[in-house]
Homo-oligomer: A and B are copies of this chain.
Amino acid sequence: MAFAPTGLITLATDFGSVEPYVGIVKARILQRLPVARIVDLAHELPAGRADIAGFWLARAWREFPPGTVHLAVVDPGVGTARGVMLAEAAGQVLLAPDNGLLPEALRGVGDVRWRAMDPELPARLGLAPLSRTFHGRDLFGPLAGMLAAADLPPEAVGAETEPDDPRPLPLPALEAGGVSGEVLVTDRFGNLISNIGEALLAGMHQPVVSVAGLELELRGAYGEVPQAAPVVVVNAFGLLEIALNGGRAADALGLAAGAPVRVRDGFSA
C-alpha cells in the first residue's frame, strides 16, 4: 500500500516532560504542517535505549491508519555520523535514527521498504547546519512535518537499503522440555514482560513458568490469584508476563530486565 499522508503524526521519545524538548519538536512539525494532528505515544522511554523504544513502537504503530507518520527519537548517537532510517509498511511511514530502533519496531513484519536518508538531504531542504545535540528539533521534526504534509515523498528521503540491527533484543530459545527466555522490560505497574510469545506455548498442555525461584502456573488474568500473589499471564501483546495481583512484581520478586524465565509443560499423562 502506497503511503498517502493524512496529517496524523505520532511521537515516541525519551525526552521526558521536565524540559520542553517535545514541545519544540512539535513546533517544528507545526511550522511545516499547521494542521498536523499529533499523538504522543510515550515520552519517558528509557534514555538512550533504542531497542526498548523499538519494542514499544512495535506494539503501537499498527494501531494507526494508513497515512500515519511515526517519529521515534531515541538518539544516543546524535551528532555523530549515525544515519537516519525511514521505513514504509502498511501504508504508514516510520522515521528514526539508524540505531536499531526501527528494525526492532518492525521485527517480523513482511513487506517493509527501507530507506537510508541521503546525507545531503538536510542541506538540500534548508535544514543545515544541524546542531549536534538535538536532531529532534533540527532534523526529525521538520522531516516528519514535511512527510505528513506531502511535501516530501518517502522516496525523496534516500535510496532503498537493508537495515542494520546492531543491538537486537534477545530472542527466546527452544530447549529440551520447554522454552527459555528472559524479562525484556518492567512496565509502569512493575509488571515484568518477557520475550516469550504465546505461540511458543501452543503445544503445552499445562505451562509451568519458572522465574525467581518460583514455579507458577499460567493464568488468564491478574485477578485469578489472591491479592499480592505473583501471577503469570499472556498479556495483551501476546507475551508472557509476570505480575503481582494488586502490586509490583518487579519489586516483590526483585527482578528486572534480563532475569531468566523458563516454561515447561507441567502435564504428565
Contacts and interface: CB of A to CB of B under 8 A. Distances in A.
Interface of A: 8, 10, 12, 14-24, 26-28, 30-31, 34, 39-48, 56-57, 59-60, 63-65, 76-80, 82, 131-134, 137-138, 185, 187-189, 220-224, 233, 235-236, 241, 246, 248
Given A133-B221, A236-B134, A10 B23 contact: yes
A47 B223 contact: no
Contacts of A14: 188-189
A223 B221 CA distance: 45
B39 A133 contact: no
Contacts of A220: 79, 132
Given A17-B40, A24-B60, A24-B63, A246 B76 contact: yes
Nearest to A8: B30
B138 A80 contact: no
B18 A40 contact: no
A236 B131 contact: yes
7 nearest interchain CB pairs? A79-B221, A134-B236, A27-B63, A131-B236, A23-B41, A16-B188, A80-B223
19 contacts: A16-B44, A18-B187, A19-B187, A20-B59, A22-B42, A23-B60, A26-B39, A27-B39, A31-B65, A47-B189, A47-B248, A48-B189, A77-B223, A79-B221, A79-B233, A82-B223, A132-B221, A133-B235, A134-B236
B79 A223 contact: yes
Nearest to A187: B19
A137 B60 CA distance: 10
Given A78-B222, A235-B134, A23 B42 contact: yes
Nearest to A245: B76
B19 A30 contact: no
Contact of A18 (B28, B42, B221, B222): B42
